[in-house]
Structure 1
């Protein structure tokens, strides 16, 4: 398939052209339109998008810094390939960052925001008890995105926004074992109790216990430009 059929830019966004190209290339790598090992160059991408090469070069440089592209000087630029080690280390990093966000959010959220977090957790509990894996995975990501947004730390939010594409791409290759409803039941309810008690240490502890069961599903990632 030709690049023209794979890539496109939004005509309504207020973002800069470089940001638009970066977002489109990131999404194409994450969802597999640009597969692992695929060789790319600024000329062909610019032609496919109908723009100059300058914003494409800017976007590709950012993707190289983030680890989605790799460059062999004077030879090629290609989409990086995810090794088992990369997937495992990304999962470890994402769990640590999400746990840190939960630690902060548990004591910083307003009462209304806390109610929102508990409501999301209740949806996860309902999905878990019904053994609805797809809904549980989606609910887990929604919960983590929510606590990151309400952690009250703009630096953490900005870092995770910038790293979101490579985290999401690598996590898709991390092991996923959601366990059984019986294995999950107690941990989720203890996490709920810790949230209601605003016990940050207990909340983080039980979150990490659940992540050990959920693998990649337990650590959602923050969407770019997530609104508070």
Structure 2
């Protein structure tokens, strides 16, 4: 028990100052710890140990654990355990499908709402993706994809879309990181056609065609780029 307390002391931290409530801060920290693996899948957690490690009362910890349970990051078996949930292949696939749909919706809205300057910015970011794809630079392509989707979600200017993504933030990112471990980005030749069509549709302000080919490309890139970007944009 002593070693477990020491480990929690090392991996959990709360900011020294914030405008958020203590319950929100605990929720954010535990969510982040689950997403980045500090709290591993299957690991048991309890309000007493976490509260002691953070130097706070158990009440905000209980509130945070309840929210994490509702989000699907934590599961509770009455009088037995509270633990971090395991990610299954089915969960990861479902989350990727959801993220692709939301990003496509954002692009549909963004194309119709961007002014000329906004459109030029979107095309410039897409060109970075195309360049990285042609050079087959995976890390650069992933980063460029994230930047593009973050930009598009902002240009969609839809408060409800941002709210949904923000509320599902941690579980989306955790599940997509799981699927990214075995995801194949494909080859430059496979990616080339969809990118070209997205660019043409963007330039023509053809929202339906841009959305269609973006969804195709998202499925090629998968969690390695698109899904995690949606989380970052909503944070």
- Same fold flag (TM > 0.5): yes
Q: CA RMSD in A?
A: 1.4
State how far apart, in whole Å, the 2-side matches of 1:125 and 1:12 are: 42
Q: Deviations over 1:94-116 (max 9, x none)?
A: 11111111111111122222222
Q: Is the 8 A contact 1:164 1:224 kept in 2?
A: no
Q: Is the 8 A contact 2:75 2:84 kept in 1?
A: yes
Residue 119 (structure 2) pairs with residue 127 (structure 1): no
Pairing of 1:172-191 with structure 2 (within 5 A) = 172-174=177-179, 175-191=182-198
Paired residue for 2:156? 151
Q: What is the total number of aligned residue pairs between the two structures?
A: 226
State how far apart, in whole Å, the 2-side matches of 1:27 and 1:54 are: 20
Q: Is the 8 A contact 2:154 2:233 kept in 1?
A: no
2:51 aligned counterpart, secondary structure: helix
* Aligned counterpart in structure 1 of residue 211 of structure 2, from 204, 208, 211: 204
State how far apart, in whole Å, the 1-side matches of 2:121 and 2:63 are: 39
Q: Is the 8 A contact 1:104 1:151 kept in 2?
A: yes
How far does residue 213 in structure 1 lie from its aligned partner after superposition? Answer: 1.3
Residue 17 (structure 2) pairs with residue 12 (structure 1): yes
Q: Which consecutive unaligned segments of at least 5 residues does structure 2 have?
A: 1-5
Q: Is the 8 A contact 2:150 2:233 kept in 1?
A: no
Paired residue for 2:3? none
Q: Is the 8 A contact 2:162 2:234 kept in 1?
A: no
TM-score after normalising by structure 1: 0.94
Paired residue for 2:145? 140
State how far apart, in whole Å, the 2-side matches of 1:224 and 1:131 are: 25
State how far apart, in whole Å, the 2-side matches of 1:215 and 1:56 are: 34
| Segments of 4+ moved more than 3 angstroms | none
How far does residue 14 in structure 1 lie from its aligned partner after superposition? Answer: 2.0
* Aligned counterpart in structure 2 of residue 102 of structure 1, from 100, 107, 113: 107
| Structure showing the higher helix proportion among its residues | 2
How far does residue 225 in structure 1 lie from its aligned partner after superposition? Answer: 5.8
Q: Deviations over 1:175-197 (max 9, x none)?
A: 41111111111211211111121
TM-score after normalising by structure 2: 0.91
1:70 aligned counterpart, secondary structure: strand
Paired residue for 1:216? 223
